[in-house]
Structure 1
Amino acid sequence: MEVVRPEFLPDPALSREEMEALQRDIADQATFLDDFSFDAALVCEDDADQQRLGESTESADASAEPPLVAGVDQAFVDDRAVSAVVVSCGDEVVERVSAVVDTEIPYIPGLLSFREGGAIVAAFEALESEPDLALVDGSGRIHFREAGLATHVGLLFDLPAVGVAKSLLCGTPARSLDEKFAVGTRIPIEADAKVETADPGTVIGYALQTRQYANADRYVNPLYVSPGHRFSAATAADVVEGCCAGYKLPEPTRLADSYADEAKAELRE
């Protein structure tokens, strides 16, 4: 797979000010509206139950093919970033690739793509298949400059992308998250003063409850889902919710997480 917008390649040699300026340009060029040709209802369709998002099987086009979905996750071995990309179609894994790149800068909140982006780009460039969309372990629009890892990767390859994060980088939930939510609950995350590039109150993503314990004394934290590129916030949440087959993580990033661990183990041997 080839980079479409090389001017946005993450260069760790840039100064912090230059990185942040590039991110503002990325946010300006990214699209946070639905702009794709596949049926979002078929993203994580399982052959066993023909699950579709937001519509019944009677109303959907039964002849439509599920899109190719790339799950993306990272791991680290010392100062090396290991990026894993797993491409699936429905419940079938089509391709798995990984890449290892030395990290040149430490972790800095908001500049993750400049630390990990080189390995992710190398992994995507090694793909023989052409995914229709990517689910990325990291933020998209929920970012100080609306240019998280999923936004950066999506724009580089002009690939519809969704960010799936385990913690909230910035933005304000529309209601308190200090309670136990039922599966399927969505709490809008709104831009606040920390988000430089969006008007206050803009919905930049959702806290999405994808799994929950039945035991009243235990709870599972929500995921923080946001559009990366060519997705709206609502459709990004639809897709992630439809891909969580009884797990907290959506299946594409869960597969990528497992493969990243395999690649990390092999690197250590």
Structure 2
Amino acid sequence: MEPVRPDLVPDAELSRDEMEALQHEIADAAVFVDDVAIDPDRLSNPLASAASEGEPPIVAGVDQSFLQDGDGTEDRALSAVVAMQGGEVIERVYAVTPLEIPYIPGLLAFREGGPILAALEALSVEPDLLLFDGSGRIHFQQAGIATHMGVVLDAPCIGVAKSLLCGRPRSDVENLPEGARVAIEANDRVDAPAGTLIGYAVQTRQYDSPDRYINPLYVSPGHRVGPETAADVVLALASSYKLPEPVRLADGYADEAKRAVRD
């Protein structure tokens, strides 16, 4: 995969104001409604979808890990991509690039976008859908890493975050039953009209116990996917674990690749 919008590729040398200005441009270019034929009802194991009458779609999960120098300082980012088709892993790739800026909430793509794009460029297959460990529209400028990468690549993308960066749940998200979803709307921390639907808290798994519970995932459209479909896809791709399978496997592969690089 190669950038369709190279002018929007993350540049760590920009000032914070320039980064945020670029994010506004990305949000303006993003498509937060369905414009691809993905049928979440047919996304199961084995995977199938209306994206093609023949071969099932290729769904890729993307996750990050970090490498340290001799002083224990994180100096490199490792991006891992696992592509799946029909419930089977068909390709795994990773890329390592230097870390150029520290972690700054809301500017994750400028820290991690380089290795992600490098890994996706090394991928020999063309994913029909990308799932990122991070936010999409649930973001201060509506341009989280799934949106930024989606617009740069012009690819359907979904953000799957473990915590809520911004926005407000429309109802309580504590101890939700498995399969439940709660709408996340824009508040005064999001550059969107108050009340705008920007994603969902999605409960993929839950304990059958009153004494403990699993927190939901925060799912948002990245690009060319609507919020309802994004939530449906994540529920369909979560098997026995909380994370959807492509992201879960990418997370494990990132750890495996990190060990290989260190050795």
Which whole-Å deviations, capped at 9, do the CAs of 1:32-71 have from their partners, x for residues lacking one? Answer: 00011344444x4313xx788xxxxxxx899543210110
Q: CA separation in 2, counterparts of 1:16 and 1:51?
A: 42
Q: CA separation in 2, counterparts of 1:61 and 1:85?
A: 21
* Contact 1:138 1:149 survives alignment (8 Å): yes
The residue correspondences of 1:75-224 to structure 2 (distance < 5 A) are 75-78=65-68, 79-177=75-173, 179-196=174-191, 198-224=192-218
Q: CA separation in 1, counterparts of 2:28 and 2:37?
A: 22
Is 1:67 paired with 2:57? yes
What root-mean-square deviation, in Å, do the aligned CA atoms of Structure 1 and Structure 2 show? Answer: 1.7
Q: CA separation in 2, counterparts of 1:148 and 1:94?
A: 27
Match of 2:45 in 1: 46
**Stretches of structure 1 lacking an aligned partner (at least 5 in a row):** 53-59
Match of 1:35 in 2: 35
TM-score with structure 2 length normalisation? 0.94
Q: CA separation in 2, counterparts of 1:111 and 1:63?
A: 39
Q: CA separation in 2, counterparts of 1:108 and 1:138?
A: 14
**Stretches of structure 2 lacking an aligned partner (at least 5 in a row):** 69-74
Q: CA separation in 2, counterparts of 1:244 and 1:38?
A: 16
* Contact 1:39 1:66 survives alignment (8 Å): no
TM-score with structure 1 length normalisation? 0.92
Q: CA separation in 2, counterparts of 1:219 and 1:38?
A: 31
Question: Which residue type is aligned with residue 219 of structure 2?
Answer: V
The residue correspondences of 1:9-28 to structure 2 (distance < 5 A) are 9-28=9-28
Following superposition, which runs of at least 4 residues in structure 1 exceed 2 angstroms of deviation?
37-42, 60-65
SS of the residue 2:214 aligns to: coil
Q: CA separation in 1, counterparts of 2:214 and 2:84?
A: 27
TM superposition shift of 1:176 = 2.4
Q: CA separation in 1, counterparts of 2:38 and 2:6?
A: 25
SS of the residue 2:151 aligns to: helix
Which whole-Å deviations, capped at 9, do the CAs of 1:72-120 have from their partners, x for residues lacking one? Answer: 0000112110000111102111111000011110000000000000000
Q: CA separation in 2, counterparts of 1:174 and 1:61?
A: 32
Which whole-Å deviations, capped at 9, do the CAs of 1:186-239 have from their partners, x for residues lacking one? Answer: 11000011001x111001000011111112111100000000000100000000
Q: What is the aligned-residue identity percentage? A: 61
TM superposition shift of 1:185 = 1.0
Q: How many residue pairs are counted as aligned between the two chains? A: 257
